[in-house]
Amino acid sequence: MQSTKHPVRSATSLEEPKEPGTMLTILALASVVLLGIVPQQSEAIVIYTGWERHALVGSDIRLSCSFFSWRWTSEDVTFSWSYRPDGARDAISIFHYTGGAPYVDNKGPFRDRLEFVGNPGRRDGSILLKNLDYTDNGTFTCDAKNPPDIVGRASSVRLLVFEKVPIQAGVITGSIIGAVLGLLLLIVVIYYLMRFLVARRVFNLSVSKHGCIELPSY
């Protein structure tokens, strides 16, 4: 008797095809897992301070520092201040705000003369320097972090301490502008005065040449 041969299916052909809905579910779960473990990306933070401050010997001065960030103010916000005296190459750390508490460097030149007067909740990391002296002249640099925004350039302000209040650059500029305007006004006055004198001279010569000029009667 002749036997009938049945075709043998491979293991691959025996697998049932997966439904599209199952594949979509697997992909969705994988996306959630991946998104959950990928760290939050950081964005740039912009820090602001003044450019130059003037003060008198023995006085106090507030050095302001604030920042701009696209995110809400983090509970882990930090501020750091460093100081580089005039003529020095390296800066030294003088203040830190981290973990919700201010810390003044106990070895720096301002260990007994620095007070934190900022409001981190409002992105303010200002400090107050007390009883200033000539030796305090230098550059103060503020750095801030608002995690996850930690990428940004620190900002610096230069402090100049004087015995007497110096003449501000604006006053000098205003004086120069005032002097230039006064000179221009003087030139204009001289110009019209010369024109008047020339016209008067011509008028006198005309009268001398043609005799008296009879004025019209009304």
The answer to whether position 29 is within a domain reads: no
pLDDT at 81: 98
pLDDT digits (tens, 9 = 90+) for 4-50: 444 444 444 434 444 445 554 455 444 433 333 334 455 689 999 99
Q: Is residue 177 located within the same domain as residue 153?
A: no
Q: Is residue 102 located within the same domain as residue 88?
A: yes
How would DSSP label each residue in 104-143? E-TTSTTTTTEEE--BGGGTB--EEE-S--GGG-EEEEEE
Q: Is residue 105 located within the same domain as residue 141?
A: yes
* CATH code of the domain containing 154: 2.60.40.10
The answer to whether position 78 is within a domain reads: yes
Q: Within the chain, what is the greatest distance between any pair of CA atoms? A: 161
pLDDT at 156: 97
* Alpha-carbon span 133 to 136, nearest angstrom: 6
Q: How many residues does the chain have?
A: 218
pLDDT at 59: 96
Nearest to 92 by CA among 111, 74, 76, 75: 111
Nearest to 91 by CA among 99, 101, 80, 76: 80
* Residues in the chain where the model's pLDDT stays below 70: 1-43, 165-174, 209-218
Domain that holds residue 189: 167-203
